[in-house]
Amino acid sequence: MPHTLTIAVDFDGTIVENKFPEIGKPKLFAFETLKILQEEGHRLILWTYRAEDKLDEAVQFCEERGLEFYAINKSYPEEVYEHNISRKILADIFIDDRNIGGMLGWGEIYQKLKDRAIIRENKKEKKKFGFLGRFKFNI
């Protein structure tokens, strides 16, 4: 995937089974998929309801499994939360168990991201042919 993305990922119910305030078992292929996405250059943001000690526990749980995040509940590491700024994270993709339609499996998530990158690359290829390359001609 040559085009890098900023991906916000929820913790409970997404990376691990939802056992909040405890930490559930890791979801099948969650850590493996997230590490591959990082290796491909994507930025991962941990985007979770957890705060304070419970957040620290989740971050440590991920780090113990080889996953470190670009930012945690922030759009970028240096961001300072202020009450006059929206808490919404600036990301290209949000992965959350509360999506409409529910949580996809991690293999399917990876494939959708890969397919999205291929589509984006194909669009770039078409643009290489100049202005007329944008039109379809029936001959």
List strands edge to edge, sheet with 43-46.
71-72, 43-46, 6-9, 93-95
Q: Which two tokens stand for residue 133?
A: 């390359």
**Full-model pTM:** 0.80
Q: Which two tokens stand for residue 90?
A: 């600036």
Count how many residues are written for the chain: 139
For the domain spanning 6-134, the CATH number is 3.40.50.1000
For the chain, give every domain's residue range: 6-134
Spatial CA neighbour of 61 closest among 89, 93, 31 = 31
Q: Tens-digit pLDDT profile for the chain (139 aa)?
A: 457 899 999 999 999 999 999 999 999 999 999 999 999 999 999 999 999 999 999 999 999 999 999 999 999 898 887 777 777 889 999 999 998 888 999 999 999 988 876 556 555 555 555 555 555 555 5
* Dist CA 130 CA 45 (whole Å): 37
Q: What is the largest CA-CA distance in the chain?
A: 66
Cβ proximity of 50 and 75 under 8 Å: no
Q: What letter does residue 133 receive in the DSSP assignment?
A: G
Spatial CA neighbour of 9 closest among 116, 120, 89 = 89
